Amino acid sequence: MLKNIIYISGSVIVFFVGLIIYGIILNIREVPLQEAMAERGITQIRNPSIVVDLKNYRLNLFSDKTLLKSYKAVFGKSNNVDDNSMTGNFTPIGDYIICDKLPNYKYHKFLRINFPNEKDAADALRKNIISQLQFETILKTVEKNICPPSQEIFGKEIGIHGIGKYNFIFKNLPFSYNWTNGSIALSNENIDELYSVVKIGTPVKIIK
């Protein structure tokens, strides 16, 4: 019995270590942003924008209409690309902007998006998820291009962030594992790159 337990435990450890090593090999191939820009003859990013592809687990960074780099991304732990639920751990679908940048965050860095936007708020009002007063409050933030009080209304803020202290493990998984509250998660190194080039007002389109 003891030998079987040791054998099974050892097999699990070897399998997990093998996965991490394979993930490390895959990540070694990733090209830094500056090198990706140089390959495209771009010295300065103009009109940066972000497109998040839920189906393919990617976050794509553009300069004007030129794709600069595609990052591996994961999403809400209850995420389903066929659902745009306002509640639970779902990543929203729609057109947003970066409304705040936090350099120190529990998951390394945070680029907050203006969720819920006007369309989200209208859907939530129609479904009786929010009140008329909350709807009007959200609309005022939309008019001012500032972050809405989503923490107060939905108990969470949605954005793009890193992994935090478990970065080495999660970034080297060779498969996609959704674990966030609905936000988009990149490796700490990748959120550092993104944080350095985007600004408040940068468009973020999330598609399924």
Give CA–CA dist 22/140, Å, rounded: 48
Q: Where are the alpha helices (DSSP H) in 29-85?
A: 33-39
Q: Say what the pTM is.
A: 0.86
66 CB contacts (<8 Å, ≥6 apart)?
40, 42
Q: Which residue has the tokens 């969470």?
A: 156
Domain boundaries, the chain: 1-30, 75-200
Give CA–CA dist 91/84, Å, rounded: 7
pLDDT at residue 46 in the model: 93
pLDDT at residue 175 in the model: 79
**Kind of pairing between the strands at 184-185 and 159-161:** parallel
Residue 206 bridge partners (DSSP): 52, 94
pLDDT confidence band for 88 (50 / 70 / 90)? confident
pLDDT at residue 20 in the model: 57
Handedness of CA 143, 149, 155, 158 (dihedral sign): positive
pLDDT at residue 15 in the model: 47
Residue 35 has pLDDT above 80, yes or no: yes
Give CA–CA dist 47/27, Å, rounded: 28
Summarised one tens digit per residue, pLDDT across range 53-84 is 999 999 999 999 999 999 999 999 876 544 45
